[in-house]
A and B are shown apart, each in its own frame.
Chain A
Amino acid sequence: MWNWQHRYAPYLFVSPFVVLFCVFMLWPLGRSILLSLHKTAGPRTHRWMGLGNYGFLIQDRLFWLAVLNTLAYAAAFLLLQIPASLGLALLLDRRNLRGRHLFRFAFFSPYLVGHVFVAVIFLLLLARNGPANQFLMGLLGTSEGLGWTTDPLAARLAVIIAALWLSLGYGMIYFLAALQSVDRELYDAAEVDGAGAWSRFWHVTLPGIKPVLVFLILVGTIGALQLFELPYVMFQGGGPQRAGMTVVMYLFLAFESGDIGYASAVGWALVALILGVTLAQVRLMRAARED
Chain B
Amino acid sequence: MSFPLGKPILVMLLVAVIAGGTLALRAKPRHRADLVLWVFADAHAQTYAKDMGPTPSLLRQFTANTGKTVQLELIGNRGLNVRLGSLYMADASGPHLPDLVELEIGTVSRYFRPPLDEVGLLPLNGLLKQSGWLDRLVRSRLVTWSKQGTIFGVPHDVSPVALCYRADLFAEAGVDIESSRTWQEFQDNCLKAQAHWRQQGHRRRWALELFEASSGYLGCLLLQRGINLLDVDDRPQLDDPRVAATVAAYALMLAGPRRIAADGAAGDAVYAQDMATGTLCAWLAPDWRLASMKQYAPQLAGKVRLMPLPRFEPRDAPTSTYGGTMLGISRRCADPQAAWRLVEHLYLSRAGLEARQHHSDMLPPVMDAWDDPVYHRADPYFASHAPGETGQRIGELYVQLARQIPVRIVSPAAPLAEPSLTFVMGRALAHARRHGQAGLEEACRQWLADETRSLRRRIRQGKFE
Contacts and interface: CB of A to CB of B under 8 A. Distances in A.
B237 to A, nearest CB: 18
B419 A237 contact: yes
23 contacts: A1-B4, A5-B4, A41-B113, A41-B115, A41-B464, A42-B113, A42-B114, A56-B461, A61-B454, A62-B454, A128-B262, A129-B274, A130-B265, A137-B204, A149-B263, A238-B423, A242-B419, A242-B423, A242-B426, A257-B113, A257-B462, A259-B462, A262-B461
B119 interface: yes
Given A127-B265, A128-B265, A150 B461 contact: no
Interface in B214-270: 214, 262-263, 265-267, 270
Contacts of A60: 458
Given A129-B274, A260-B89, A147 B419 contact: no
A110 to B, nearest CB: 21
Interface string B255-289: 00000001101110010001000010000000000
Interface in B366-404: none
B114 A41 contact: yes
A94 interface: no
A8 B262 CA distance: 71
A9 B4 CA distance: 10
Given A43-B88, A151-B430, 9 more contacts: A12-B9, A43-B89, A124-B270, A235-B213, A236-B213, A238-B419, A240-B426, A257-B113, A259-B113
A262 B415 CA distance: 14
Interface in A25-39: 39
A253 interface: yes
A262 B462 contact: yes
Contacts of B454: 61-62
A151 to B, nearest CB: 8
A152 interface: yes
B110 interface: yes
B5 A128 contact: no
A236 B118 contact: no
Contacts of B110: 256-258
A41 B147 CA distance: 14
B119 A42 contact: yes
A39 B419 contact: no
A42 B416 contact: no
Given A150-B263, A235-B213, A257 B88 contact: no
A180 interface: no
Contacts of A198: none
A74 interface: no
Nearest to A242: B423
A143 interface: yes
Interface of B: 2, 4-6, 9, 88-91, 109-110, 113-115, 118-119, 203-204, 212-214, 262-263, 265-267, 270, 274, 279, 412-413, 415-416, 418-419, 422-423, 426-427, 429-430, 454, 458, 461-462, 464
Contacts of A147: 212
B425 to A, nearest CB: 9
Contacts of B6: 5, 9
Nearest to A238: B419
Contacts of A47: 464
A257 B426 contact: no
A181 interface: no
Interface string A39-74: 101111101000000001000111000000000000
B117 to A, nearest CB: 9
Choose among B6, B109, B114, B461 the residue with the greatest number of A CB atoms under 10 Å from its CB.
Answer: B461
A43 B9 contact: no
A209 interface: no
Nearest to A124: B266
B416 A253 contact: yes
A47 B463 CA distance: 11
Contacts of B203: 143
Contact of B213 (A8, A12, A150, A260): A150
Nearest to A42: B114
Contacts of A1: 2, 4
Contact of B114 (A45, A128, A149): A45
Contact of A123 (B88, B89, B266, B422): B266
A4 interface: yes
A53 B452 CA distance: 20
Contacts of A129: 204, 265, 274, 279
A199 interface: no
Nearest to B114: A42
Given A127-B266, A150-B263, A241 B5 contact: no
Contacts of B462: 39, 257, 259, 262
A257 B412 contact: yes
B118 A240 contact: no
Contacts of A260: 89
A5 B5 CA distance: 5
Ranked 4 nearest A-B pairs via Cβ: A42-B114, A42-B118, A258-B113, A43-B91
A263 to B, nearest CB: 10
B249 to A, nearest CB: 18
Contacts of A4: 4
B441 to A, nearest CB: 19
A239 interface: yes
Nearest to A16: B16
B426 A253 contact: no
A8 B423 contact: no
Nearest to B203: A143
Contact of B9 (A9, A151, A240): A9
A233 B265 CA distance: 15
Interface string A207-245: 000000000000000000000000000011111111000
Contacts of A241: 423, 426-427, 430
Given A43-B91, A128-B263, A149-B213, A257 B413 contact: yes
Interface in A101-155: 123-124, 127-130, 137, 143, 147, 149-152
Given A1-B4, A12-B5, A127-B265, A42 B426 contact: no
Contacts of B263: 128, 149-150
A15 to B, nearest CB: 12
Contact of B118 (A41, A61, A143): A41
A124 B265 CA distance: 8
Contact of B415 (A12, A124, A149, A257): A257
